[in-house]
Chain A
Amino acid sequence: DGGITQSPKYLFRKEGQNVTLSCEQNLNHDAMYWYRQDPGQGLRLIYYSQIVNDFQKGDIAEGYSVSREKKESFPLTVTSAQKNPTAFYLCASSMVAGGTNTGELFFGEGSRLTVL
């Protein structure tokens, strides 16, 4: 089945440690996204990428880094510079805008990061 796989589903980290969240898709989508979700704040965009080896900062990129070495993969690293990293992280993908593409995003199941 086509879809997006995020791992791990739950992750605990000590302060000062970097952690990397995995996101893999087999939908053949060009664009991929990382969102952060906090209670009562909806989803906020961290980074997005349209093609391999290219990515752009979203609204809250500080303290995060990404890479896009393969079309299928878009890992997110939460660095020690992120002051409040405890959150639910969602990866998504979409076709690139244009033509009849409506902009629908397809989401993974999410990764919950807790800083101890």
Chain B
Amino acid sequence: AQSVTQLGSHVSVSEGALVLLRCNYSSSVPPYLFWYVQYPNQGLQLLLKYTSAATLVKGINGFEAEFKKSETSFHLTKPSAHMSDAAEYFCAVRGDVRFSGGYNKLIFGAGTRLAVHP
């Protein structure tokens, strides 16, 4: 079975500081992993995805994430926070398609709300 744990429901950083949002997963198959961002009252937008190629994945808006199999982690980072980064971030793992009839069933973490202060 697959599951996702996001450590910290709220993270606050200063503008210009490092952003680190933590995600740990469990998966019975080689995982496909995703980070999505959600701005208030909007849908989710894909930031980046890991698909078993390079372990360091670069996404939009300067974000990147590193897949560490030994730690079952996929933490999201950004070297310098901007005020516009304030949003909620969701980590997700794709469910095992062998048991979902081919559906791309994503299992989401509970989300981390990022606040950026001046």
Q: Hey, which bits of chain A sit against chain B, CB under 8 A?
A: 4, 6, 9, 31, 40-43, 45, 48, 50, 56, 88, 90, 92, 94-98, 101-110, 112
Contact = CB atoms under 8 A, between A and B. Distances in A.
Contacts of A98: 97, 102
B21 to A, nearest CB: 14
B26 interface: no
A81 to B, nearest CB: 24
A48 B104 CA distance: 10
B49 A40 contact: no
Nearest to A108: B43
B90 to A, nearest CB: 6
14 contacts: A6-B43, A42-B110, A90-B43, A92-B44, A97-B97, A103-B34, A105-B44, A105-B46, A105-B104, A107-B43, A109-B42, A109-B43, A110-B43, A112-B41
Interface string B75-118: 00000000000000010001001001111111011110000000
Contacts of B90: 42-43
Contacts of B9: 40
Most chain B Cβ neighbours within 10 Å, of A31, A42, A56, A109 = A42
A104 B45 CA distance: 10
A104 B108 contact: no
